[in-house]
Amino acid sequence: MTDLSTTYLGFHLRSPIVLSSSPLTEELDTIRRAEDAGAGAIVLPSLFEEQLTLESHDLDRQLSHHAYSVAEALTYFPEPGAFAMGPDAYLERIRRVKAAIEIPVIASLNGVSSGGWVEHARTMQQAGADALELNVYFVPTDPLRTGAEVEQTYCDLVRDVRLHLGIPLAVKLSHFFSSIPNLAHQLELEGVDGLVLFNRFYQPDFDLDALEVVPNLTLSNPGELRLRLRWVAILYGHVKADLAVTGGVHGAEDVLKSMMAGASAAMMASALLRHGVDHVRTVTRDLVRWMEEHEYASITQMRGSMSQQHVAEPAAFERANYLKVLRSYALQPRQPVK
């Protein structure tokens, strides 16, 4: 029998398919349907740092220094009532979801500074969360702030939370770092249990008539998976932390590629927003079919088989592959002018 089970953040999951943080994991009925369809775990929608600071009216010193340098900046954020729920309601959601399903429930915190995170991370654990995902969404805009300082912010945050947390901790990273392997190593030293690659920075657009910056949210596409595969394949075998892919996972082939690169989990949101949560069942069926046809008995058997751990000189391999890609495009012959 084909074994789809995997291990992520210390949990034995029946499937590598994990619902990432999205509106889909807001509704209890949808979460139950995802479990019935074969999902291995779910990540709840994020509790945002701004929800904590707006509720308490106590802005963290570090965040104030970097983001709220002028009072006007406070007006950029939504009013407290615009958020789906506050911290207390979020804790109640954790309790309700935990009581309703058997697969692991991963809580999520979104922000950039320690502030009230440590206390709220602890209360999430007390409410029954099986693990915590830190979604560090931070775009540095200060030209005097060095890359090392930005990376230290991540490490400090993980250290502060890890010291007060007894459940597994994952960090959701972006790919905008000069050395992702080194940052992964530093985060691992601070006690992180998993790395989720990668956060998607949503790009705003300009309204030329109103002369305003407007939000622009687009769902992911399978082409985005390639960046994730590359870095998971590089990190696999060099860090002990579990690796998860998020962004571009739409079908069974994407899950398989993620596993072969070295991931323990393949997180889905956009494909489920398009096709409905029952799409998990379709992907699961296609996974089993492909593995049977190609004589793979388990996910464990294939994990990391396409990673750079099997390459003697990864840096040289990257360079050679770069040159090969550049030379692979063939110009089409010009049609004779009539």
Give per-residue pLDDT as tens, 166-213.
999 999 999 989 999 999 999 999 999 999 999 887 778 888 999 998
pLDDT at 203: 76
Tokens of 144: 């005097």
* Burial (CB count within 10 angstroms: exposed 0-12, middle 13-18, buried 19+), residue 334: exposed
Model confidence at 33, pLDDT cuts 50, 70, 90, reads very high
Say what percent of the chain tops pLDDT 70: 79
End-to-end CA distance of the chain: 63
72: pLDDT strictly greater than 90: no
Split at pLDDT 50, 70, 90, the class of 84 is: low
Q: What is the pLDDT of residue 330?
A: 66
The angle that helices 87-100 and 28-37 make with each other, rounded to 10 degrees, is 40
Tokens representing residue 97 in the block: 């979801």
User: Is the bond leading into 201 cis (omega within 30 degrees of zero)?
Assistant: no
CA dihedral 30, 32, 33, 34 (to 10 degrees): 90
Comparing 51-55, 57-61, 270-274, 323-327, which segment has the lowest mean pLDDT?
Answer: 57-61
215 confidence band (pLDDT: 50, 70, 90): confident
On the question of pLDDT at 71 being above 80, the answer is no
Q: d(Cα 287, Cα 309) in Å, to the nearest integer?
A: 24
Higher pLDDT, 321 or 79: 321
- The domains located in the chain, with CATH, are 6-310 (3.20.20.70)
pTM score of the predicted model: 0.85
> Between 260 and 57, where is the model more confident?
260
Instruction: Please name which of 184, 195, 13 lies closest in space to residue 101, comparing C-alpha atoms.
Output: 13
Residue 134: beta bridge partners?
A: 109, 171
Tokens of 238: 């060099």
* CB-count burial class (<10 Å; 0-12, 13-18, 19+) for 68: middle
Q: What is the pLDDT of residues 250-307, one digit of tens each?
A: 999 999 999 999 999 999 999 999 999 999 999 999 999 999 999 999 999 999 999 9
Share of the chain above pLDDT 90, in %: 64
d(CA 264, CA 11): 11
The residue that leads in pLDDT, 191 or 64, is 191
**CA–CA distance from 129 to each of 14, 72, 83, 132, 141 (Å)?**
18, 36, 21, 7, 34
**Looking at residues 311-324, what average pLDDT do you find?**
58
Instruction: Assess whether pLDDT exceeds 60 at residue 56.
Output: no
Q: Is residue 305 classed as helix, strand or coil in its secondary structure? A: coil
Q: Which of the residue ranges 24-38, 148-162, 248-262 would you say has the lowest mean pLDDT?
A: 148-162
Gyration radius from the chain CA atoms: 21
Average confidence score pLDDT of the chain: 85
Where does the pLDDT of residue 75 fall: very low under 50, low under 70, confident under 90, or very high at 90 and above? very low
Q: Do the strands 205-207 and 131-136 form a parallel or antiparallel pair, or are they unpaired?
A: unpaired
Position of tokens 């007060």?
Answer: 164
Look at residue 107 in the predicted model and tell me its pLDDT: 97
Is pLDDT above 80 for 78?
no
DSSP 110: E
Where is average pLDDT lowest: 86-100, 126-140, 154-168, 322-336? 322-336
Rounded Cα gap, residues 247 and 18, in angstroms: 12
